[in-house]
Structure 1
Amino acid sequence: MVRIATFNVNGVNGRLSVLLKWLTATNYDIVCLQELKTSDEKFPVEAIWEAGYGAIWHGQKSYNGVAILCRGREPAERRRGLPGDPDDTHSRYIEADLDELVVGCVYLPNGNPAPGSKFDYKLRWFDRLISYGQDLLTAGAPTVLCGDYNVVPTPIDAAVPRRWLGDAVYFPESRQAYVEMLEDGWLDAIRHIHPEKGIYTYWNFSYGGGYDRSSGLRMDHLLLSPSLAPRLRGAGVDVELRGWNRPSDHAPAWIELD
């Protein structure tokens, strides 16, 4: 069994204690992290190695940043950054070879305020991801594209959908781009395992601690290439992390593959 998780950590150094506690408690085989908010040189590689994981990362000071962790060894980097825009300086994609698996770690732009230039950038980035995803499918290797997609695909993926009608994560254009990926052949692993259940990976911060459960959204996704679909055995969210001390606003999502 291969266990893969994705987690928008919302500041890898500021929430390092949460990350290390979770890694030690769960022992996932492969972990993708988003929103590192740190430069490459300040990524906490030593602490992560002491927790039992090798890592590759693509950092950016104060913003963005993605990493792939592998239990017991360093992942073999395959790509950093999406093709299609040589002027894009955001650290939002990294990819590794892990035995027979290709794993891509995605941090899609949020796009707010929308409409506007940030939303236009989001859609351009999504188009590049769709195009590159088609290349990965054509290549045929078993592939997982996971991370924070900043898109809430359907009404069931929001605890109170009407709250998000003016937000870029719920705009029709964002949701349509996600549909295009599924139409290309990518499988939404969590929705496949839980076809009719409201499952969430994000909640707003609340004043005074805790979190607003009515703000739940599912926008952290694990997409599988078709050859992996028969190997999917489980999927879920480590919701309890959202209630830990100094948590991220996201909780980790995970899958199990034969």
Structure 2
Amino acid sequence: MQLATWNVNSLKVRLPQVLDWLAANPVDVLCLQELKQEDHAFPLEALAAAGYRAEFAGQKTYNGVAIVYRDTLTATEVIKDIPDYDDPQRRVIAASFGELRVVCAYFVNGEAVDSDKYTYKLTWLGKLERYLADSLARWPQLALLGDFNIAPDDRDVYDPAGWAGKVLCSESERAAFQRLVAMGLADSYRHFHADGGQYSWWDYRAAMFRRNLGLRIDHILLSPPLLARAQSCEIDRAPRKNERPSDHTPVVVTLG
């Protein structure tokens, strides 16, 4: 079984790329972030023609998440947003596939460490932690996939000194990431790759992708039973080479 995550930075713009990628990489479950479209515009028919179904929580202009899955699977116990947290931003969706629980999340960016958005990010992270702790108690086989907007350590940053203390790399954000790991959710990419210099996001400006000046901020975290089944986790750089690409590229984990 293969699970993948991809921040598409507008599904309306990138739908052809998503369909092409699924045709070439027929993963079982694909978590999407930054749909930037309302639910009525979600491309169910196009995905159905490709052999996929979806659960989604959209939002005009900003945010939006979806779990796209092969039509041979059945999604149950779908939960949108973080329960008991009044947040107008559509950032989280979860669904079960048998004993597998998939949580797709678009973490808050935070803008800058001295901004209100950073304060919101830290609050949001706290709410997510409690939600995941409850979810793990109910679903031991849990995978958290998404754009975390956190580079876990300096290996995940092209210029650690330049990014030190800044949003995406601040101590508080990295501490939140480590609390997820301490909860029992392992960084599947790091499990297979100890080296640095591998990224999932590159700014559109200054030929950052061509120069490989990026950050690894898209992650797949696995609970212990799933980590025991993990065979590989890879970053697929190919879609970042597309014309009008997302600034993110997919991450894929293979489970035995």
Normalising TM by the smaller chain, what interval?
over 0.9
Deviation, 1:32, is 0.2
CA offset digits 1:8-60 (Å, max 9, x no partner): 00000011111111111100010000000000101111111111110010000
CA distance in 2, matches of 1:187, 1:212: 30
Relative distance call for 1:152 and 1:210 in structure 2 (3 A) is closer
TM-score (norm 1): 0.94
Corresponding residue for residue 102 of structure 1: 101
Unaligned runs of 5+ in 1: none
Unaligned runs of 5+ in 2: none
CA offset digits 1:216-235 (Å, max 9, x no partner): 11010101111112101000
CA distance in 2, matches of 1:210, 1:149: 20
Corresponding residue for residue 241 of structure 1: 239
Corresponding residue for residue 110 of structure 2: 111
Corresponding residue for residue 154 of structure 1: 153
Please tell me whether the aligned partners of residues 96 and 104 of structure 1 are also in contact (alpha carbons under 8 angstroms). Answer: yes
SS at match of 2:205: coil
CA offset digits 1:140-160 (Å, max 9, x no partner): 430101100100000001122
CA distance in 2, matches of 1:41, 1:140: 30
CA distance in 2, matches of 1:161, 1:223: 23
CA distance in 2, matches of 1:206, 1:90: 27
Corresponding residue for residue 79 of structure 1: 79
Relative distance call for 1:156 and 1:145 in structure 2 (3 A) is same
Deviates more, 1:225-234 or 1:157-166: 157-166
Letter of the 1:211 counterpart: F
Aligned length: 255
- Give matches, 1:28-39, under 5 Å: 28-39=27-38
CA distance in 2, matches of 1:193, 1:214: 20
Of all paired residues, the percent bearing the same amino acid is: 39
Please tell me whether the aligned partners of residues 56 and 77 of structure 1 are also in contact (alpha carbons under 8 angstroms). Answer: no
TM-score (norm 2): 0.95
CA distance in 2, matches of 1:127, 1:169: 16
Deviation, 1:77, is 4.6
Please tell me whether the aligned partners of residues 99 and 139 of structure 2 are also in contact (alpha carbons under 8 angstroms). Answer: no
SS at match of 1:118: helix
CA distance in 2, matches of 1:116, 1:94: 26
Please tell me whether the aligned partners of residues 5 and 250 of structure 2 are also in contact (alpha carbons under 8 angstroms). Answer: yes
Which 4+ residue blocks in structure 1 deviate beyond 4 angstroms?
none
Deviation, 1:212, is 4.9
CA distance in 1, matches of 2:198, 2:84: 33
Please tell me whether the aligned partners of residues 100 and 139 of structure 2 are also in contact (alpha carbons under 8 angstroms). Answer: no
Relative distance call for 1:84 and 1:165 in structure 2 (3 A) is farther
CA distance in 2, matches of 1:124, 1:49: 37
SS at match of 1:133: helix
Letter of the 2:46 counterpart: A
Relative distance call for 1:126 and 1:71 in structure 2 (3 A) is same
Deviation, 1:165, is 2.8
CA distance in 1, matches of 2:228, 2:151: 25
Letter of the 1:237 counterpart: I
Corresponding residue for residue 63 of structure 1: 62
CA distance in 2, matches of 1:113, 1:135: 30
SS at match of 1:150: coil
Letter of the 1:75 counterpart: A
SS at match of 2:12: coil
CA distance in 2, matches of 1:42, 1:3: 27
SS at match of 2:54: strand
Corresponding residue for residue 217 of structure 1: 215
Relative distance call for 1:226 and 1:21 in structure 2 (3 A) is same
Letter of the 1:64 counterpart: N
Deviation, 1:135, is 1.1
Please tell me whether the aligned partners of residues 106 and 145 of structure 1 are also in contact (alpha carbons under 8 angstroms). Answer: yes
